[in-house]
Structure 1
Amino acid sequence: MSTMKAAVLRKPFELVLDEVPVPQITEPTDVLLKVEMTAICGTDLHPYEGRIEIEDDVILGHEFLGTVVEAGSAVGQFSPGDRAVASCVVNCGHCYWCRRNDPGRCIGSRIFGMGIALGGLEGGQCEYVVVPNADLSMRKLPEGGKGTDEDLLFVGDIMTTGYEAVRRVFTPGDTVAVVGAGPVGLCSAMSAVALGASQVVVVDKVAARLKEAEAIGAVPVNADETNPSDAVLDLTDWRGADVVIDAVGHESALLSAITLARSGGHLSIPGVYLEESMTLPFGELWLKGITVSGGVANIVNYMDEVTALIGVGKLDPSRMISHRMGLSEVTEAYRLFHDHEATKIVLDPTK
C-alpha cells in the first residue's frame, strides 16, 4: 500500500509529520485530490489546543486545493487532471435544509480534519485527500483573471466565511464594524469594502493587524487606546454600526460587538463558539432589537461569488499570508500560529 506525508495530531500540542496510507475512494461521489497547497486555519487550533476533544491520530486541515487524481463513477463535474478547491464543509445536498438552499444547517455536515464528532473526514494537510460529494463540495480553479492559486486557496474557507458573514445581513451603503482583525476578520472587512459599505471599522489590539485593516480600506481602532463604541458612534452620527461582525469567537469580543450595533442593526457571528453558555446583556439585545445570525458558514452557496470577485481583483485574500513553509515544517508552523507569530501560514506538501 502506498503511503504519504501527513500532519497527524497525536494528542493536544503533539503534532507530527507522519507516513500514513494514501486514502482511497469509497463512494461513487468521491474524488481523490492530490494536494498542492494547504493552510493552517484558526479553527485548526481548537483540536490542537485541546478545546475540541477529538480522537488521537487525526490528520488536520480543511483549507486546500489541488489536482484531481481519480473521480468516482457518479461524479459529473470533475475529471482527472482538473484543478480544484474544496469547501471546508461537506454537506449532504438532500436533507431538509440543503433542499431549502441553507446547507450551513445541514444535519449531515462534515468538516475536514475535525475528528469523528464532526464527520470523521481526514484533513487536507497532507499529500492526498478524499473529497466526498465532490460535485457540490468542490469548484474548478478558473483560468485567467487576477486571482492566484494562493487567493483561490481561501475560497474553501476563510474568504468565503468572511464574505458570507457580511453578505447575509448587508445592504449597500451600510456601516460595517468588524471585531477582530485575524484572517476571518480581515476577510470580512475586505468583503464589506467590495460589496459597497459606506465605511468599515475594524477593532483589534494588535498594531500590525490594524495596519493591514487600514491598507484594505478600513478605519482601524485600537481597543487599548480608544473606546470602540465611542469611535463607531463618532463615525455614524451616534447611531452605531448597521452591521457588526464578531470574527473572534470569544465572550469579550461578543460583548464588545453588541455595544457597537445600532438599534435595529445586525450582529453576524462567523467566530467559532464552543461554550455551552455565557453571560450576555440580553436586555440590551432586546431593547436595540438586534438581529443575531451565526452558525456554520454556507460555504458552497458563496464560493462562486467569491471566486468571481477574486477574478476581477475586488478580493485579495493572499495578502494576509505571512509565512510560506513546507509540510515538513508543520510542527514549527503550528507553534508559530499558536503563539500569534504568524497571521496566515500556507504549506507546500512537496517540501
Structure 2
Amino acid sequence: MGDKMKALHYDGPFKVSIKEIERPKLKHPDDVIIKVTTTCICGSDLHMYEGRTAAEPGLVFGHENMGIVEEIGPGVTLLKKGDRIVLPFNVADGRCRNCEEGKTAFCTGVNPGFAGGAYGYVAMGPYQGGQAQYMRIPFADFNALKLPPGTENEADFALLADIFPTGWHGLVLSGFKPGESVAVFGAGPVGLMAAYSAVIRGASRVFVVDQVKERLDQAQKIGATPINFKESDPVEQIIKANDGMVDRAVDAVGYQAVDKGGSKEQPNIVLDQLIMVTRPTGGLGIPGLYVPSDPGAPDAQSGKGQILMSFGKLFEKGLSLGTGQCNVKAYNRYLRDLIISGRAKPSFVVSHECGLDEAPEAYDKFDRRVEGYTKVLVHPNGPL
C-alpha cells in the first residue's frame, strides 16, 4: 500500500492544501488502521481554518470519520479486517473514571492536561484527523462502532461521528421530556440535528432561530417553526407564536454568535436569549462550542473565554443548565439503529459531497456560506 498518502494539510488562516504525508502505522497493540471512506467538514473545523484557535500549520483536520479496517493490532479482539466502522470524534481510552461513567468526551487518559481528546483538532491530543486516505484509531475495540457491510446509508452513518449525537445531546442537556416545547438557536447542522431530535422524541413545538433562508427552510421541512432573528427580536417572536415561553432551549451557535444585524460578533447574545425565552424552572442545553481562548474575539474579556451573561435572571428563574462536548458513545449505537430501521434519516443536512482534491475549495465555499454549502462529506479514496 506504500508509505505515503494524501491528506488535507492546514497551512495557516484560510489556507489548506492537499499534501503527501506519511501513512499512519500501528503504534500500540490496541490500534487499527482504517481506509477512510467518508469524513466530514464541520463548522468546528472552520474555527481553526479561520485562525480563531491556536492551531499550527501541519495539522490534519477531520474529527468525523468512518471507514474500512485495513490493519489490526495484536491486542484488538472485537474487530477484523474489512469491518465497516464509524468513530466518535471523542478519542477515549475506556479505562479512566470518566469513561467508566460513560463520559467519554472527558476522558482523562488520552490527552493529559486537557479534559478529552479528538481526532485532528487543536489541543485535543496527537491524533491525526481523517481528512486523509488512512488514519490510526487508538483503543479501537472501545471506540469503533460497527456498521452493516456495504455502502448503504453512508451519509447517514457518517453523521454518527458528531453532529447527530451532538444535536441529540443538546436536547438531553436541556432536560427535555416528550410533549415539551423547544427553541433551538442556530440552524447549522448541529442545530438542525437538535431540532430533528426534538421532533423524533415528541416535542409539542420546535422553533429554530437563524438568519440564513436555506437553513430555515430546512428547519420548516422537518416540522419546526423557522424564526429569522434579523426580522425582529427572536425571543419576542417565539413567545408570541408559542403563547408563552418554551420549556427547553438549545444553543447550537457558540462563541461566534452575531448581533441582531447579523454581521458583528456578540458572544453572549444567544446565551442571554436562551435565558429570556425559557420558562421558570425550564432547562438550557448548550452544545454550541465555547473556548477558553479566542485570538479573534471582539473584546479582551471574551478573548479569555469570559463571557458576560444574565446570571441574575438565570438564578431568578431557577433554570437548569447543561453544557459540554457530546459523549458520542452514549448515543451512537441507538442512533445507528434508528437509521437502520428507517426511523431517522439525518443526511438531509448534507449539501455537498466531494473528493479529497476538492476539499480546499469546499472549505472556502463553506466558510463563505456560498452556493448552499452547509455540510460537506469528503471521500478521500474516491467515490463509493
CA contact 1:177–1:200 (8 Å) conserved in 2: yes
Matched, 1:234 2:240: yes
Match of 2:328 among 299, 324, 335: 299
Q: Distance in 2 between matches of 1:156 and 1:177?
A: 24
Give deviations 1:34-83, integer Å, cap 9, x for gaps: 00111100111121111110232011111121100011122222100001
Is residue 279 from structure 1 mapped to residue 340 from structure 2 by the alignment?
Answer: no
* Count of aligned positions: 348
Task: For 1:36 and 1:283, locate their aligned partners in 2 and report how far apart those are by CA, in whole Å.
Answer: 49
Q: Distance in 1 between matches of 2:18 and 2:306?
A: 36
Counterpart of 2:343, as a letter, is K
Cα RMSD for the two superposed structures: 1.6
Residues in 1 aligned to 2:58 and 2:150: alpha-carbon distance in whole angstroms: 39
Superposition pairs of residues 1-351 of structure 1, within 5 angstroms: 2-108=3-109, 109-115=116-122, 117-142=123-148, 148-168=153-173, 169-238=175-244, 240-250=245-255, 251=267, 252-275=269-292, 276-341=305-370, 342-351=373-382
Cα deviation, residue 144, structure 1: 9.2
Out of 161-170 and 294-303, give the one that drifted further.
161-170
Q: Is the 8 A contact 2:6 2:20 kept in 1?
A: yes
Once the two structures are superposed, residues 295-349 of structure 1 have per-residue CA deviations (whole angstroms, 9 ceiling, x without a partner) of 1111111111111122223322211111111110111011011111211111121
Structure 2 CA distance for partners of 1:143 and 1:24, relative to 1, 3 Å:
closer
Shift of residue 103 of structure 1?
A: 2.1
User: Structure 1 stretches (4+) deviating beyond 4 angstroms?
Assistant: none
CA contact (8 A) 1:91 1:110 kept: yes
- What is the CA-CA distance between 1:100 and the residue it aligns to? 2.0
Q: Residue 234 of structure 1: CA displacement?
A: 2.8
- TM-score, length-scaled by structure 2: 0.87
CA distance in 2 between counterparts of 1:194 and 1:311 reads: 15
Q: Is the 8 A contact 2:63 2:119 kept in 1?
A: yes
Matched residues, percent identical?
39
What do the CA deviations read for 1:211-269 (whole angstroms, capped 9, x no partner)?
Answer: 0000011111111124322232234442x111111000032222222221111111111
Separation (CA, whole Å) in 2 of partners of 1:345 and 1:231: 31
User: Are 2:38 and 2:379, in contact at CA under 8 Å, matched by a contact in 1?
Assistant: yes
User: Which stretch shows the higher mean deviation, 245-254 or 180-189?
Assistant: 245-254
User: 1:2–1:22: 8 Å Cα contact kept in structure 2?
Assistant: yes
C-alpha change, 1:173 and 1:306, in structure 2 (3 Å) is same
Q: TM-score, length-normalised on structure 1?
A: 0.95
**More deviation in 224-233 or 43-52?**
224-233
Distance 2:148 2:239 in 1: 42
CA distance in 1, matches of 2:170, 2:139: 24
State the one-letter code of the partner of 2:132: C
Deviation at 1:197, TM superposition (A): 0.8
Structure 1 residue runs without a partner (length 5+): none
CA distance in structure 2 between the aligned counterparts of 1:311 and 1:198, rounded to whole angstroms: 26
Whole-Å Cα distance in 1 between the matches of residues 196 and 227 of structure 2? 16
Instruction: Say which SS state the counterpart of residue 331 (structure 2) adopts.
Output: helix
Q: Is the 8 A contact 1:7 1:125 kept in 2?
A: yes
Does the 8 Å contact 2:90/2:104 carry over to 1? no
Looking at structure 1, the residues matched to 273 and 368 of structure 2 have their Cα atoms a distance apart, in angstroms, of: 24
Distance (Å, rounded) in 2 between the aligned partners of 1:286 and 1:264: 10
